[in-house]
Amino acid sequence: MTRWAAAVEYDGSPYCGWQIQDGQPSVQAEVEAALSKVADRPVAVQCAGRTDTGVHATGQVIHFDTDADREERAWVFGGNANLPPSISIRWARPVADDFNARFSAVARRYRYIIANRDVRPAILHRRVVWDRRPLDAEAMARAAAPLMGTHDFTSYRAVACQAKSPVRTVHEFTVQRRGAFIHIDVEANAFLHHMIRTFAGTLMAVGAGEADEDWPRRVLEARDRRVAGMTARPGGLYLTAVRYPDEFGLPELSGDPGLW
């Protein structure tokens, strides 16, 4: 058996999320079906991070074990030939047996994209989140600064989050305006359920002038989800990169999906 790692890009709009669910279309089911055709036998995959309904990825990482003797090109191009247009395998590499897409990761990076203009987007309506309120991206960036570091993020996770500990370490947190779009980029060792979307909802309230710049810090210290902002909609969220120790020799994705 050989263990393979691969990077997967997908538009999450048509799917119930990454994970297989009975009677619902999922990214995992499509990827497993495509790779199974290449291998000519069943292939089961594990991912670095399960994304929710409507959430996208440009740098999801998976691993799978198989005794099928195939070249890297076969997994990439053969897999893509059997995938719908909304999903694409970016690369595939054989890895050590102790590699695990989820547990070997040392950091994950997400981008949340806001279309900040008067008129709602049409072509991008499932790929960004629209907010017509004039948002102050610089105020949002200042408000985000206290969220970096190691903290108890209870206030920023879903009530139903099943993580054993709410403590996470945020390595980077930036907010930048690019024309009519605002990008929120966050990199951390791991994330809680709805953590990025709650960050986004809270910062959007600051950007709109509905809350002061110190509010996200007070929310953090409250350790109470009820005091945070709304959970922003999923369409603007992208898993852009997963980072691993150099010893595994995997290609490093830029973390920038190159979108707007």
Q: Which residues are annotated as a binding site for substrate?
A: 110
Catalytic positions are: 52
Q: Quick one: tokens of 51?
A: 């994304």
Residue whose C-alpha is closest to residue 60's, from 21, 99, 90: 90
First to last CA, the chain: 42
